[in-house]
């Protein structure tokens, strides 16, 4: 499959058409941004790691009954995916308080939650991805009731499977962000990526951050953290 016209360039990926109208190629960049693009940088090798990690995890999730956009890894940075219409929601699952949740509710980072939580942000850079609830999503016709229920079911299933997998790597899955899309027949599938850019991953023994918070918070050792988390994945993915 060869790359056709570029359809879109996002903060971390480019998307290309192919000769099949139902398929696209995503190409992962090393560019990193935070705070809605206010902070910009490069994480050398990130595109390769995020591409390979996201594909490996989506393959596991497919086996566990979560349909995804993944079709085939074409190269280190390029992957063939199903063309979807993105549901304009960031779906965030949390197991442990951190980030904006800690700030919003005044809960110390690292506090385990009594049960996993789900929240939604409206994907809209101009508005700064505001938090949105189920009623607003339905009122604005961003998804139907049925689609929203499917998304919630898949998101919690992803959490259970990824928690288990990362535990086997000695890593705690603190929280993560998912995006879903609709393929041409309307089926909801997991889309976008699952990577250290979109998950908080802490070493279970030391609490060390092995994710993009090292970049967001200027903690240093960003590339090392991405390589370390990828190494852990490679050591355990065969058993998943």
Distance CA 4, CA 17 (A): 5
Characterise 170 by phi-psi region: left (phi > 0), alpha (psi -120 to 50), beta (else).
left
Residue recorded with tokens 């288990």: 164
Is residue 216 part of the contact set for ligand ASP (CB under 6 A)?
A: yes
Q: How far apart are CB 92 and ligand TMP at their closest, in Å?
A: 5
Is residue 120 part of the contact set for ligand TMP (CB under 6 A)?
A: no
Give Cα 114 to chain centroid, integer Å. Answer: 23
* Tokens standing for residue 199: 């998950």
Q: How far apart are CB 155 and ligand ASP at their closest, in Å?
A: 18
By beta-carbon proximity to ligand TMP, the closer residue of 45 and 99 is: 99
Is residue 42 part of the contact set for ligand ASP (CB under 6 A)?
A: no
By beta-carbon proximity to ligand ASP, the closer residue of 92 and 155 is: 92
Tell me how many degrees the CA angle 100-151-50 measures, rounded to the nearest 5. Answer: 60
Is residue 1 part of the contact set for ligand ASP (CB under 6 A)?
A: no
* Tokens standing for residue 91: 């779906």
Is residue 33 part of the contact set for ligand ASP (CB under 6 A)?
A: yes
List the one residue out of 233, 235, 89 whose CA is nearest residue 173: 233
Residues 161-200 that bind ligand ASP (CB under 6 A): 197
Count CB-CB contacts under 10 A for residue 179. 20
Is residue 132 part of the contact set for ligand TMP (CB under 6 A)?
A: no
**Of the residues 200, 209, 214, 232, which one makes contact with ligand TMP according to CB under 6 A:** 200
- By CB under 6 A, name the binding residues for ligand TMP: 92, 98-101, 175-177, 198-200
């Amino acid at each position: 499959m060869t790359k056709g016209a570029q359809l879109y360039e996002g903060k971390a990926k480019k998307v290309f058409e192919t000769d099949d109208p139902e398929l696209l190629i995503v190409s992962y960049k090393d560019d990193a941004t935070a705070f809605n693009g206010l902070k910009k940088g490069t994480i050398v090798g990130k595109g390769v790691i995020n591409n390979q990690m996201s594909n490996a995890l989506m393959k596991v999730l497919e086996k566990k009954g979560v349909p995804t956009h993944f079709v085939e890894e074409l190269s280190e940075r390029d992957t063939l995916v199903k063309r979807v219409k993105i549901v304009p929601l960031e779906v965030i699952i949390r197991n442990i308080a951190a980030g904006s949740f800690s700030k919003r509710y005044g809960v110390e980072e690292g506090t385990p939650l009594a049960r996993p939580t789900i929240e939604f942000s409206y994907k809209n850079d101009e508005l700064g991805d505001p938090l949105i609830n189920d009623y607003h999503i339905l009122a604005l016709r961003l998804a139907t009731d049925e689609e929203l229920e499917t998304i919630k079911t898949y998101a919690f299933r992803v959490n259970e499977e990824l928690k288990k997998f990362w535990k086997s790597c000695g890593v705690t899955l603190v929280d993560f962000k998912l995006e879903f899309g609709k393929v041409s027949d309307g089926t909801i599938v997991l889309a976008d990526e699952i990577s250290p850019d979109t998950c908080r991953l802490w070493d279970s023994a030391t609490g060390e951050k092995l994710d993009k918070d090292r970049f967001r918070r200027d903690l240093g050792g960003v590339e090392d953290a991405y390589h370390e988390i990828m190494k852990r994945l490679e050591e355990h993915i065969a058993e998943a």
